[in-house]
Structure formats: C-alpha cells, structure tokens
C-alpha cells in the first residue's frame, strides 16, 4: 500500500487542505443516510501502455458507509487489476468503513491500451452498506492521459569518455550512475550504438546496476555493457545510453552521450571476455608473496614439469593439459622421487591481478592435481583461493591420506560473480605438514572469463 501513497504524492491534484466535494455524488437519497462522494474528477495522468496504480479518494457525509468496495465494469481499452490481498475488488486503505469526515482511498491498477480511442473512461462500481440498506452504483471516471515525453532527473549518468578499445576488440565498460531521487526498476540500454555490437550481462536485453535494480538517492552505482568492434576505423565515436526507471509511479528516461576511442589494431587491447589465461600469460606470478613460506623444497614454480614416480605411482605428471607452463611444486624431476617434492611446510604463489568487470557473471576454470604417497596425512594439503579486495574465498582444498594417490589432471570451474567489479588474484598453497610425506601439487590452464553472454 505504500506504493499507492507514493502515487498520490507524485501524481494527483489531491491536497491535504479541505477538499471541495467535487465529482459524482453516489447516493444522496434518504435523510440521515450516507452520502458518498468521489473527490477526483479524473484519474491521475496515465502513460498509455504502462501499468499504473491509481488511488481514488472518497469521503462520506451523514452516516457511515460500511463494507465499502470498488470494482470495475468491463471497459474497452482499459485493463484493471486489484490489490493482491483482495484480488477481486478494491477495499479502502484504512479499513472497510468510510466514516463521516474521513477521507480514504481505493486502489486500482490500470493499463490503457495506447490504440484505444479517446476519451478513455473508467467505469467503476462502488458498493457499500449503510444504516438504511445496501447501495451500489456505477460511476464514470475519465482517465487522464499523460502523453508528454518521459523526461526527468531521478538519476544522473556520468558523461565524457567511456573507454578505449582497438579496431577488432571486445571490451566491458562500466557506466557510472548517481541516484538523485530514489529510483526503481533501473535498466540501461545503448539506444544509439554507432559501429559497436552490444551485449548485456546474463543474456538480458538491458544492463542493471551492480548493486541491484533500485538506485537510492545519493548512492553511486555502475552498470556494465559489453562493446565489440570488428574492423572499425580509428577515431572517436559517440554512443547514446538510456536509463529507464521509476520515481514513485512515474516512468522516467534519462539519456547521455558517451565517447569511445577506437585505436588501431595495435591499440590498447581493451578488455575481453577472457580476463586472464595462464596459458597465454604464465608470467607475473609471485612465489611466496607474503615471505612467510616454510617449505624447504618443492616450492611453486611456473614451468613445464618433468614426470616423477615411485614404484609405478606417478607423483608428478610430465605435462599440462594444454602444454603451456603450469604452476608446479618444482617442475624439475631431480635425482629421485623425493628430491623436489614439498618438504617441511608450506609453499604459496599468487597470480597477477585480474580486473573483473562489475555486474557481469565471471567464472574461473582450471586444471589441478594433488598427489601423495602413503606416508601422507590430512595435515598435507593443496588449497586454491581467490583473493578479493576485502575478502579471500577458499575455492578448493584437498588433503592427504595414508595411501598412494597418483597425479591425474582434473578440471574445475568456479563462479567468481561475487567478486565482480574487483581486482582479484588467485592464490595457490601446498604443504607437507606434520610427518614428512611425499607431496606434489599442480595447477594449470587457469582461465578467468565472463560467462552467460549471447554469442
Ligand atoms: Ca615436484
Ligand atoms: Ca615431502
Ligand atoms: Ca606430511
């Protein structure tokens, strides 16, 4: 019911001053009987084709009108709905009795067919019980049509340069928003895309703000949109972005022109659906990033590994699934099986920083194994975590056991959407703790990419 009050505040001419009793007098027969009066001559302004809740104000004189109900008479070109709690009629806002001097409201959801001929008139039936009997009457309420352009300033959008990309490229750009009023159902679309192909997150036909579809007053947010180029000439291009939303019951559209710089094919490289691929970019990992590792051998190594085994058990595989360098607990085989396995504690390594665009689903896919011999225990482990700006999430943990576990590549995919909009790193840790054990671990073919896109 809050929404109906908001509707009145936003829309109608109804004021808190003593109202003149205008409109239809429903029933004025009988001395001492209830005289019900509709306090508006028309509906609030309605945008054709859109659902709108309208509040209809009523008053009564002389006597109470009890069991007060409003239903609509079937009207061409106007669809009518009722509040969920009553479903087939509209009751008063306060309770179901209208008392003398009280002003109360009934709510209807109406939708006007844009093709229907003017004037549109909503025929409603009001019924109530008074001291002298049951009353029912049809009242005609003209529907006021708002055919003005949707303009407003509930949301401000950043302007200027949106980003840079190459002639054949894919880039995610974030459009900054600021709530000037409490706005709901916020949707962004590129309505003048220029030479760019546009895709929105999660296969929707629009982009939503990162924090949700409501943008509160004073809150800054952003919405991600994917731009793709294919043989686009160098230069500066303008795109028009429209935000549509509601302030109260009023639908508003705000538009802004943003610029995108397209550079040559050797340009910035921009963004991509693939945000990180260890096969293409194996470097820039940092071993022992916090300087507190305790392992004395088997430290992580970015390399193509050599195979090791013990009595037929493969403890380190001599390849990665893609053939690109992996993150290996020392890739060189060494003089014997136990020469370059993890010993005496923990070894850690962390990936380069990966920027995840805001408001889009992101996944991490990788291959890994954790191998050990029967001198292992649950104290030994492999852990893979994602380190965000404010929290670290453990994605995978494998612990040892008193048995022989051969190295065998396995593939895993993780959802990183909770870290959208952040710069993250992938942390890998392996340890031979407690008694000395033969422990080897590997992580390879690490790909972070945006998912859920229309091709
Ligand atoms: Ca090793
Ligand atoms: Ca060991
Ligand atoms: Ca151990």
Among 195, 190, 194, 193, CA closest to 232: 195
Residue 363 CA to ligand 1 centre (angstroms): 28
Residue 166 CA to ligand 2 centre (angstroms): 49
User: Any idea where the domains of the chain sit in the sequence?
Assistant: 2-142, 152-270, 275-451
Q: What are phi and psi for residue 336, nearest 5 degrees?
A: -155, 175
Among 332, 326, 260, CA closest to 297: 332
CATH topology of domain 152-270: Immunoglobulin-like (2.60.40)
Kindly tell me if the per-residue pLDDT of 144 is higher than 90.
no
Residue 380 CA to ligand 2 centre (angstroms): 9
- At 415-442, the pLDDT tens digits run 898 898 899 999 999 999 999 999 999 9
Residue 238 CA to ligand 2 centre (angstroms): 60
The CATH code of domain 275-451 reads: 2.60.120.260
- At 14-53, the pLDDT tens digits run 322 223 333 344 444 444 478 888 888 888 778 777 777 7
CATH of 2-142, one of 3.30.1490.100, 2.130.10.10, 2.60.120.560, 2.60.40.1230: 2.60.40.1230
Give the mean model confidence (pLDDT) for residues 116-123: 86
Neighbour-count burial of 101, counting CB atoms closer than 10 A to its CB (0-12 exposed, 13-18 middle, 19+ buried): exposed
Q: Do domains 2-142 and 152-270 have the same CATH topology?
A: yes
DSSP-derived 3-state class of residue 203: helix
- At 293-308, the pLDDT tens digits run 999 999 999 999 999 9
Residue 377 CA to ligand 1 centre (angstroms): 18
Query: What are the residues whose beta carbons fall under 8 Å from the beta carbon of 133, sequence distance 6 or more?
Result: none
Q: Are strands 423-432 and 345-350 parallel, antiparallel or unpaired?
A: antiparallel
pTM of the model: 0.52
- Lateral strand order in the sheet of 103-112: 35-38, 52-61, 103-112, 78-81
Q: Using CA atoms, how far apart are residues 199 and 59, in angstroms rounded to an integer?
A: 52
Residue 368 CA to ligand 3 centre (angstroms): 19
Cis peptide before 119 (omega within 30 of 0): yes
Kindly tell me if the per-residue pLDDT of 157 is higher than 60.
yes
Residue 426 CA to ligand 2 centre (angstroms): 24
């Amino acid at each position: 019911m809050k929404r109906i009050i908001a509707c009145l505040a936003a829309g109608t001419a109804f004021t808190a001053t003593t109202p003149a009793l205008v409109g239809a007098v429903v029933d004025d027969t009988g001395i001492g009987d209830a005289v019900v009066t509709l306090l508006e001559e028309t509906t609030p302004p309605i945008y054709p084709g859109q659902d709108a809740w309208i509040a209809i104000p009523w008053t009564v004189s002389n006597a109470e009108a009890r069991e007060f109900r409003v239903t609509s008479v079937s009207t061409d070109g106007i669809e009518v709905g009722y509040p969920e709690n009553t479903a087939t009629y509209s009751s008063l806002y306060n309770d179901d009795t209208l008392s003398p001097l009280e002003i109360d409201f009934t709510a209807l959801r109406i939708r006007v067919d844009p093709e229907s001929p003017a004037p549109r008139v909503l025929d409603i039936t009001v019924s109530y019980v008074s001291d002298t009997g049951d009353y029912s009457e049809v009242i005609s309420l003209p529907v006021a049509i708002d055919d003005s352009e949707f303009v407003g300033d509930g949301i401000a959008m950043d302007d200027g340069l949106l980003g840079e990309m190459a002639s054949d490229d894919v880039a995610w750009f974030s459009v900054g928003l600021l709530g000037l009023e409490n706005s709901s159902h916020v949707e962004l679309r590129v309505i003048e895309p220029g030479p760019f192909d546009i895709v929105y997150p999660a296969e929707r036909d629009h982009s939503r703000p990162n924090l949700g579809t409501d943008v509160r007053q004073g809150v800054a947010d952003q919405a991600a949109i994917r731009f793709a180029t294919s043989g686009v000439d160098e230069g500066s291009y303008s795109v028009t972005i429209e935000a549509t939303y509601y302030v109260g019951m009023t639908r508003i559209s705000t538009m802004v022109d943003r610029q995108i710089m397209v550079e040559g094919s050797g340009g910035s490289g921009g963004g991509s659906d693939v945000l990180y691929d260890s096969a293409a970019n194996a470097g820039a990992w940092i071993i022992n990033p916090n300087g507190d590792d305790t392992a004395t051998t088997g430290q992580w190594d970015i390399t193509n590994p050599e195979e090791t085994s013990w009595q037929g058990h493969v403890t380190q595989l001599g390849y990665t699934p893609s053939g690109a360098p992996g993150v290996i607990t020392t890739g060189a085989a060494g003089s014997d099986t136990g020469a370059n396995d993890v010993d005496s504690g923990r070894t850690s390594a962390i990936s380069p920083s990966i920027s995840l665009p805001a408001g889009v689903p992101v996944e991490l896919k990788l291959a890994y194994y954790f191998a050990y011999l029967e001198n292992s225990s649950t104290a030994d482990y492999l852990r893979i975590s994602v380190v965000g700006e404010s929290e670290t999430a453990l994605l995978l943990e494998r612990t040892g056991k008193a048995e022989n576990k051969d190295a065998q590549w396995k593939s895993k995919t993780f959802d990183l959407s909770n870290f959208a909009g952040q710069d993250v790193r992938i942390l890998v840790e392996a340890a031979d703790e407690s008694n000395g054990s033969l422990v080897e671990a590997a992580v390879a073919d690490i790909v972070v990419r945006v998912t859920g896109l229309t091709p």
